[in-house]
């Protein structure tokens, strides 16, 4: 089980030009927005990445507006783990459980999740917070990650996993975010 004290949220490449061509982008935006709001209530740190920002643009405003102190890691490798700036930021947080969201599921999300898993991190991919241009690419990537031992979860599932009890001081606020 993931715990608040040991968890990080990684938001991968939800950028202007890439986001426009994603399948189910309205649902994706709504779920990621809920997840970020819940994560912020629980004081879980967030790392945001941007793939070739000069070419693909910045993180979409719906997300960046929720993360006022956002300092995205610029990258060119598909796996975030291949970027030294990402590894430094991740290691500095001294947490081993990583919630992964972003685009595209079958490229950057997949490669990052597998590499994190193989380097001693426990990764969960939030299935309603990832997308690809086609549903087939997303589905195949999620299946392959499952074979690699990466656990799937949903926005609601991970937020309540982090709470662990209805007696948690943030239970009512998280419940309101989910509704």
d(CA 101, CA 7): 13
d(CA 119, CA 122): 9
81 is catalytic: no
Mean pLDDT, range 51-55, rounded to an integer = 95
Residue 97: pLDDT band by 50, 70, 90 thresholds?
very high
**Per the residue annotation, which of 80, 81, 108, 129 is the catalytic one?**
108
Domain spanning 4-178, CATH architecture: 3-Layer(aba) Sandwich (3.40)
| Phi, psi angles (nearest 5°) of residue 124 | -125, 130
13 is catalytic: yes
The model's pTM: 0.96
How do residues 30-46 score in pLDDT, each as one tens digit? Answer: 999 999 999 999 999 99
32, burial (CB in 10 Å: exposed 0-12, middle 13-18, buried 19+): buried
Residue 147: pLDDT band by 50, 70, 90 thresholds?
very high
pLDDT at 69: 85
d(CA 153, CA 147): 15
| Residue 125 reports pLDDT greater than 90 | yes
């Amino acid at each position: 089980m993931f715990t608040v004290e040991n968890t990080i949220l990684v938001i991968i490449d939800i950028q202007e030009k890439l986001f426009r061509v994603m399948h189910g982008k309205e649902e994706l935006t709504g779920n990621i927005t809920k997840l970020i709001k819940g994560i912020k209530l629980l004081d879980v740190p967030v790392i945001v990445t941007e793939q070739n920002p000069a070419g693909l643009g910045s993180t979409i405003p719906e997300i960046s507006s929720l993360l006022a102190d956002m300092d995205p890691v610029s990258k060119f490798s598909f796996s975030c783990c291949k970027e030294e700036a990402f590894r430094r930021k991740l290691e500095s947080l001294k947490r081993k459980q990583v919630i992964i969201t972003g685009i595209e599921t079958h490229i950057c999300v997949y490669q990052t999740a597998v590499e994190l898993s193989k380097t001693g991190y426990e990764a969960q991919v939030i299935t309603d917070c990832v997308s690809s241009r086609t549903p087939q690419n997303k589905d195949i990537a999620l299946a392959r990650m499952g074979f690699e031992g990466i656990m799937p979860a949903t926005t609601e599932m991970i937020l309540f996993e982090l709470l662990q009890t209805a007696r948690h001081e943030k239970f009512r606020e998280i419940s309101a975010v989910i509704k």
